């Protein structure tokens, strides 16, 4: 199995999603509140995972734009669960050596007094290994 195929299998296994169930209706992208921020939109995510185009996704900022609101999961008529794919790709990206999205040092300059500490903790969980 080459790396491309391996990555694809890995993402599918990690997410538990079967992208071939997608019928290309685009409801995920229609419903996505972060759509305009994204380079690759939810329906493209599904399509690219299905065709094994994982590398561009791994390097895309889109991974961190997904709010994990799960609107796409809720509304997908085929139960494809695109957000889980995004999550799986994101995990693959940050699990790489030194690929943490954020380190503890990055936090103080951007911290906002009003941000609840719980949010910081969960952001940390999401963006680090």
Partner 1 sequence: MQRVGVFVCWCGSNIAGTVDVEAVSEALKSEPGVVFSTNYQYMCSQAGQDMIKDAVKEHNLTGIVVCSCSPRMHEATFRKTAAAAGLNPYMVEIANIREQCSWVHKDMLTGTEKAIILGKAAIAKVNLNAPLTPGESPVTKRALVIGGGIAGIQTALDIADAGFPVDIVEKKPTIGGKMAQLDKTFPTLDCAACILTPKMVDVAQNEKIRIFSYSEVSEIKGFVGNFDVTIKKNARFVKEDVCTGCGACVEKCPMKKVPNEFNLGMDNRRAIYIPFAQAVPKVATIDPNACNMLKNGKCGLCARVCTAGAIDYTQKDEYIEEKYGAIVVATGFNPISMDKFDEFAYNQSKDVITSLEFERLTNAAGPTAGKLLRPSDGKHPHTIVFVQCVGSRCDACAEKGKEYCSKICCMYTAKHAMLTRDKYPDTEVYVFYIDVRTPGKNFDEFYRRAVEEYGVKYIKGMVGKVTPEGDVLKVQASDLIANKQLHIDADLVVLAAAIEPDKSARPLATMLTASMDTNDFFTEAHPKLRPVESPTAGVFLSGACQGPKDIPETVSQAGAAASKVIGLLAKDKLTGNPCVAHSNELMCNGCSSCERVCPYGAITYIDKEFRMPDRTTKIRRVASVNPAVCQGCGACTVTCPSGAMDLNGFANLQIMAEVDAICK
Helices (H), 1-129: 3-15, 27-31, 42-51, 55-58, 62-65, 71-75, 82-94, 107-110, 117-127
Minimum distance, C-beta of residue 57 to partner 1, in the bound complex (Å): 16
Mask 102-121, x = binds partner 1 (CB under 8 A)?
--------------------
Please identify which residue in 75, 95, 96, 129 interacts with partner 1, judged by CB under 8 A. 75
Contacts of 100 by beta carbon, 8 Å cutoff, 6+ apart: 94, 127, 128, 129
Burial string for 60-71 (b: 16+ CB within 10 Å, else e) reads: bebbbbbeeeeb
Among residues 38 and 63, whose Cβ is nearest to partner 1?
A: 38
Spell out, one character per residue from 10 to 49, where the chain touches partner 1: x when CB under 8 A holds, - when not: -----------x-xxxxxxxxxx--xx----x-xx-----
Contact residues toward partner 1 (CB under 8 A) are 21, 23-32, 35-36, 41, 43-44, 71, 74-80
């Amino acid at each position: 199995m080459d790396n491309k195929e391996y990555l694809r299998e890995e993402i599918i296994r990690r997410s538990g999603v079967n992208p071939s169930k997608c019928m290309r209706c685009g409801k995920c992208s229609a419903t996505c509140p972060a759509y305009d921020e994204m380079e690759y939109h939810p329906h493209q995510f599904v399509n690219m995972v299905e065709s094994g185009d994982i590398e561009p996704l791994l390097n895309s900022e889109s991974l961190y734009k997904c709010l994990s609101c799960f609107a796409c999961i809720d509304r997908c008529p085929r139960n494809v669960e695109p957000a889980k794919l995004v999550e799986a790709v994101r995990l693959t990206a940050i699990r790489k050596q030194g690929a943490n999205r954020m380190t503890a040092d990055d936090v103080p300059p951007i911290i906002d007094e009003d941000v609840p500490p719980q949010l910081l903790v969960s952001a940390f969980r999401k963006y680090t290994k």
